[in-house]
Amino acid sequence: MRWKQPSSLFRTPGDGQGPTAVLDVGPDGDVALEPSPGEKPREGDILIGLYDGTVWYARPVPTTPAAVTNFRATPNELIATASSLVRWHASGPRCEQCHGPTVMEFRGQRRRCTECGALLFYRTDPAVIVAITDEDDRLLLARQRAWPEGRVSVIAGFVEPGESLEQACAREAMEEVGLALTSINYFGSQPWPFPRSLMLGFTAIATDPGALAVDGEEIVEASFLTREELASKLGAGRISLPGPASIGRALIDAWRG
């Protein structure tokens, strides 16, 4: 995964721009590994964009195709966009103005209310993920309650109404591990279509690492580790890190150097 790179997906290709391909997408958002051979786009297909010289479409199908992938396994923009848009349309969102039914239009790039005509666009839920270090440059790794023993990552949480991203980092750190933050700096971002998040990565320094105290609700274990300690625990199989496609892993790897 590359970070802070410009998109290679051109989202609004005109008609007649070269070859097309159609990817089946199951109801749970898993995307067929390969485009359907010889299939041409038809009514109801969703335009994904121009990618690798081909105009790609997603076709919602009622049963999951035999060979599929998702963003965790194949972290590219084509997969994220296909999965996100198909599930959004399948959810049949109501109009935000009058709660009337909406229909897909403009090849799936938006929906329109059949009652009042208001337009709906896909939205993402911003979430912050923050790598916290102490004055000795040790990294805080924490285990969420829902995770198996030994699985750790940096902390994360959704942005709440009225918050800046930096405020969200500070609040999550205080709530989950009792730490106040300084030097909160942007790292990079990643779509996370499970179902529709945008992960915004930051680094930060804990002002008083001694105050570390897990909330016991969302986070059940947390500690600051040196690079040597992390390598040793990994080598012994005592802890595991998030998958290589995730921004959580990218934050950890950037710190490891």
Interface residues with Zn ion (CB under 5 A) are: 95, 97-98, 100, 113, 115-116, 118
Comparing CB distances to Zn ion, the nearer of 96 and 137 is 96
Closest separation between CB of residue 115 and Zn ion, Å? 4
CB 21 within 8 A of CB 38: no
Measured between alpha carbons, how far is 34 from 245 in angstroms, rounded to an integer?
20
Structure tokens at 199: 């992960």
104 vs 118, beta carbon nearer Zn ion = 118
CB of 118 to Zn ion, least distance (A): 5
Min CB(103)–Zn ion separation in Å: 11
Give the amino acid at 225: L
Nearest to 234 by CA among 156, 151, 155, 154: 151
> Closer CB to Zn ion, residue 113 or residue 250?
113
Smallest gap from residue 95 Cβ to Zn ion (A): 3
Q: What whole-number distance in Å separates Cα of residue 127 and Cα of residue 200?
A: 6
Residue 156: its H or E element? strand 155-158
The residue count of the chain comes to 257
Kindly state the smallest distance separating residue 96's Cβ from Zn ion, in Å: 8
Among residues 56 and 88, whose Cβ is nearest to Zn ion?
88
Q: Are 242 and 153 a contacting pair, CB within 8 Å? A: yes
Please identify, using beta-carbon distances, which residue of 113 and 155 lies nearer to Zn ion.
Answer: 113
Phi, psi of 136 (to 5 degrees): -95, 10
